[in-house]
Amino acid sequence: QVQLVESGGGLVQAGGSLRLSCAASGRIFSISTVGWYRQAPGKQRELVAQITRGGDTNYDDSVKGRFTISRDKNTVYLQMDSLKPEDTAVYYCRLTYGVDYWGKGTLVTVSS
């Protein structure tokens, strides 16, 4: 079973930074695309950024130039700079390999 555990969320002022981590177990992780998603209260979960097994990245327009996704052998990171109140959400790590595997999420709260 693939296990994904997010960490690094917290409370930060607008303009500040946080780095989220997704610690993974399972061989599938190293050969799969991994993404960060977020879900705000009353809204649908949406893709923030993803990274392929080869290191290619893709970002939602709302975070381009502010967020950076990266990975090493066992962990995917999301560096979040210039945070805005609208970035407030629960952030989830996701791996897809035929079916979706999700972490439990980490809460990011950005105050004005």
The pLDDT tens digits for 12-53 are 999 999 999 999 887 888 888 999 999 999 999 999 999 999
Give the span between the Cα atoms of 96 and 68, in whole angstroms: 20
Share of the chain above pLDDT 70, in %: 100
Residue 101 pLDDT greater than 90, yes or no: yes
**What value does the mean pLDDT take over residues 58-79?**
96
Q: How far apart are CA 47 and CA 95, in angstroms?
A: 12
Q: What is the mean pLDDT of the chain?
A: 95
Euclidean distance between CA atoms 26 and 102, whole angstroms = 13
Which strands, in side-by-side order, build the sheet including 18-25? 3-7, 18-25, 75-80, 67-71
